[in-house]
Structure 1
Amino acid sequence: MPVRSAWLINRTTTDTGQSRTDTRLAPTGTMAPTGALTSTSGIIPGSKDGRYVMDALYVYGDTAGMTANVAPGRAVIQGPAAAGAYPVVLTDYTQITFDDGDANNPRVDLVLLRVYDAQFDPVSGRTEAVLEILKGAPEPNPTPQPVPEGALALAQVTVPAGASVGTGGLDWSKAVYDMRHTTVAAGGILAESWNRDTKGGYTGQYRDNATQLQRWDGTRWVSYPRHIGGIAPQGTLANGEYVGQYRDEGGKLQRWDGTVWRPVVPATGWAYNNDGGYCKSVTWVETIVDTTGPGISTSFTTPVSGAVLITVGYHGSNPLDTGWSRMSVNVRLNGAVVVPADEQRAAMATGKMGMSVTHTFRVTGLKPHTVYDAVGAYISSATSNNAWLDNRFIRVDPML
């Protein structure tokens, strides 16, 4: 089998051991680390015309049957920590043959590029680099065996129950699941692969996930800021990359506050109820009685100025000529009142004659890019005055 590994055994005869060619073909040098003495196992990226991430060690079938092909290529395989990483090369296209399927259940086999080293694994008694198939257990819902130490998984191959050359072999268009992933020299940028859940090896490592550059921050891959000072196009960013970044979301401009996207130009807040009721409380309350909608409120997001205009209004009347009613709002943040209702910030209806009244007032000093609630508040001139309020509304407009 044309599988070679540099630094595995010395060349002691004309037929075995490391040759000069092995040394030239096998990847050597310090690869992307995963620890003080360990490296990231993986395949060296690259393709003949540069169109693909990698051509190397691709597993495929091109004829009916149980035999697949493995393309030549180079890889690095981390063995036990004390053993180090083995540079490995497959120099020619190589065929591998799968056992026939179980009579009753499917199984999932692994195609491995593996290094045996008797110096660190005397039980095996082997010292060689090989391509091998790790046969899975036949089960109704099969899973592959764990990848052994000193091995690199190239592909999963599903072998259906009863599969054999006589029954047509494997459907290669569906049987193979590619498991290859890349590795590069220390300081290099990892190429996109199909194993995107692989953790970084050190803080400050970079990878290219096929759409953007990402940096490992010690716990996760963070997209490198691509739009500093610009606006990220719609659909390109689920999370912001830095506080103050902007994106286009459905034609609306949003700003990343470090946790969530906030609208840069907030929409108007609006709430209303057109079913009448009355209030006879002489202190501010947030509900009225004898109505299907006792309270109204609207949420709003503050602009960068932290200032808004609030308008309240209703159609009011009183049973007494001297009676009056007022409507204002309590501005709440996470449930707590930060701007209370007040007669200076209220619409007022006086006397028996029904009238429509409104009042607009400015609220400043709010936290920018923060969600508040404007909750309707009501008061009557006396407990004997059942002040009637109908068609109540609240409108909140941002001040930029």
Structure 2
Amino acid sequence: MNLRSSWVAETGQTREDTRLTQTGATTMLNPVQVRSGILPGSYSGQFRLSGFWMTNASAMSATVSEGRAVVQGEISQGVYPVTLPASQTVTFTPGNPQYGRVDLVVLRIYDRLYEGQRNEAVVEVIEGVPEQTPKAMPVPARSLPLYEVTVPAGVSAGNGGIPWATALKDLRTPVVAVGGIVPAEGPVAPGAYPGQYQDTADGQFQRWDGGKWVSYPAGIGGIIPASAGTLPASYTGQYRESALGQLQRWNGSAWLPAVPGPAYNDTLDHGTTSSTTYTPILAERAVNPLTVNFTAPPSKTVLIGFGARIQSTSPDHYAYVNIRVTQGTTVVLDSTDDERAAVCASEHNTSVATSVRLGNLTPGLTYTVTVVHRVVANTLNLKAGFDNVFVRVDPLA
């Protein structure tokens, strides 16, 4: 029978049965195995991971502090709980005369059920090979790496020993009980199931979404803070605060302002027209036509304001400024209706402006507003002058 249990059979429970059914300090790796790692905590509560901390004891030796850990074997071997109740000293051999090396300090389980003739848990130094570009040896089976230690060429107790301030690379990773929040330290392992949580070394609360760790605001639909930097979006409609403090929304491919606009354009360049139908082109003006683009907001509605300083030839010579709105090649709002126009009939420069409410837009699409001009029908081919022309688009809630 393959199913294993603990404390059911009156006789015959094996050490392997007991290891395979451990459900204590076991952060899941898959449905059967758990992560190898160290139980978090410190005496003062100030530090996340103090177990098996390593510091120099002498020129060529280091002290590994007390701690508790679990070491996962192969899938059928179960997990080995280990405890170091008092600190232990490990010693490193002198450096090679020519090349440096990288030693590996591990918690290692020797189990003669699977190899060798020993049944023992040890703190062990696995000496690296001296090379021009040294690297640590592979981690043996049933072992938990604690530190890499760089041993430079020629170092020994007689010449200062290992430069401890720069020699240590911390490889320790924490584990917690099933369902617990892992205080992530060292190499970040992938999650085992959607809904698993971890607290990162820089203080971000994250949830595993089945493929990546997602910071907590993203996972619950909140606003990603600017402190999260370039954290990617998780879904269309997610919000974040930009580095400049702007609220942005993810549209599926890019971060855009959550409240687009206002969009604005103007020109102080004077121009004239004698056209009796609306035209975007003014003679003598360099800016032709005057346009502005805007992105339709989620409300589908915008307020478009426009105007100009107009001078007509006589009090009976009406001049109009109006707008045309397009989306690509589609005309959304034509300029044939004078009721929307700002109108002036004066021989003196007169500033006029008006606004138009435009709805039923498609959120996220880009629209273009073009300012157009005309004069009243006349037989004398009279002109009107337009100056300080402007257009502004504001999203409405």
- Does TM, scored on the shorter chain, surpass 0.5? yes
- How far apart are 1:285 and its partner, in Å? 7.5
Rate the CA distance shift 1:108–1:391 in 2: closer, same or farther, 3 A: farther
> What is residue 262 of structure 2 aligned with on the other side?
268
Question: Map of 1:219-368 to 2, 5 A cutoff?
Answer: 219-224=211-216, 235=227, 254=247, 268-276=262-270, 292-298=286-292, 300=294, 305-315=299-309, 326-330=321-325, 332=327, 337=330, 339-344=332-337, 345-347=340-342, 356-366=351-361
Letter of the structure 2 residue corresponding to residue 199 of structure 1: P
- Which residue pairs with 1:200 in the alignment? 191
1:13 is aligned to none
Deviation at 1:117, TM superposition (A): 3.3
Counterpart contact for 1:286–1:375, Cα < 8 Å: no
Aligned residues between the structures: 370
Structure-to-structure mapping, 1:15-26, within 5 angstroms: none
- Report the counterpart of residue 85 of structure 2 in structure 1: 91
Whole-angstrom CA distance in 2 between matches of 1:161 and 1:288: 81
CA contact (8 A) 2:296 2:367 kept: no
Kept in 2: contact 1:299–1:371 (CA 8 A): no
Residues 187 and 331 of structure 1, relative CA distance in 2, 3 Å threshold: same
Segment drifting more, 80-89 vs 243-252: 243-252
- Residues 305, 55 of structure 1: CA spacing in aligned structure 2 closer, same or farther, 3 A cutoff? same
- Matched position secondary structure for 2:182: coil
Tell me the distance in 1 between the aligned counterparts of 2:191 and 2:281. Answer: 56
State the TM-score, normalizing by the size of structure 2.
0.71
Aligned residue for 1:61, secondary structure, equals strand
> Is residue 179–residue 194 contact of structure 1 (8 Å, CA) maintained in 2?
yes
* 1:87 Cα deviation from its structure 2 partner: 1.7
Q: 1:330 offset after TM fit, Å? A: 2.4
- Distance of aligned partners of 1:205 and 1:232 in 2 relative to their CA distance in 1, 3 Å threshold: closer
Deviations 1:244-303 (A, max 9, x none): 888777896847568677766665322223334677999978777865544555455666
The within-5 A match list for 1:128-207 is: 128-138=120-130, 142-195=134-187, 197-207=188-198
Query: Partners in 2 of 1:376 and 1:213 — Cα distance?
Result: 48
Q: Aligned to 1:183, what secondary structure does the other structure show?
A: coil
Q: Would you say 1:46 and 2:41 are equivalent positions?
A: yes
Q: Which moved more, 1:320-329 or 1:298-307?
A: 320-329
Q: Is the 8 A contact 1:114 1:132 kept in 2?
A: yes
Tell me how far 1:325 sits from its aligned partner: 6.3
Q: Does 1:375 align with 2:369?
A: yes
Give secondary structure in 1 for the equivalent of 2:158: helix
Where does residue 392 of structure 1 map in the other structure?
Answer: 389
Identical amino acids, percent of aligned pairs: 36
Q: Which amino acid aligns with 1:178?
A: D
Q: Indicate the residue corresponding to 1:32 in structure 2.
A: 27
Structure 1 149/229 Cα, relative in aligned 2: closer, same or farther at 3 Å? Answer: closer
What is the deviation of 1:157? Answer: 2.2
Where 2:183 maps in the other structure, the secondary structure is: coil
CA separation of 1:68/1:295 partners in 2, compared to 1, >3 Å: closer, same or farther? farther
Instruction: Specify every segment of 5 or more residues in structure 2 that has no aligned partner in the other structure, as ranges.
Output: 1-5, 7-14
The one-letter amino acid of 2:391's match is: I
- The offset of 1:118, in angstroms, is 4.1
Residues 355, 56 of structure 1: alpha-carbon distance in 2 compared, 3 angstrom cutoff: same
Tell me the CA shift for residue 308 of structure 1: 2.3
1: CA distance between counterparts of 2:257 and 2:270? 34
RMSD (CA atoms)? 4.7
Q: Residue 60 of structure 2 contacts residue 161 of structure 2 at CA under 8 Å; is this kept in 1?
A: yes
Give the 3-state SS of the residue equivalent to 1:343 in structure 2.
coil
Q: Which amino acid aligns with 2:198?
A: R
Q: Take 1:128 and 1:283, find their aligned partners in 2: how far apart are those partners?
A: 96
What TM-score does the superposition give when structure 1 sets the normalisation length?
A: 0.71
Distance of 1:108 and 1:276 partners within structure 2 = 76
Q: What is the distance in 2 between the residues matched to 1:279 and 1:85?
A: 87
Q: Which of 307-316 and 129-138 deviates more?
A: 129-138
Stretches of structure 1 that go unaligned for 5 or more consecutive residues are: 1-6, 8-17
Following superposition, the deviation at residue 158 of structure 1 comes to: 2.7
Distance 1:146 1:340 in 2: 70
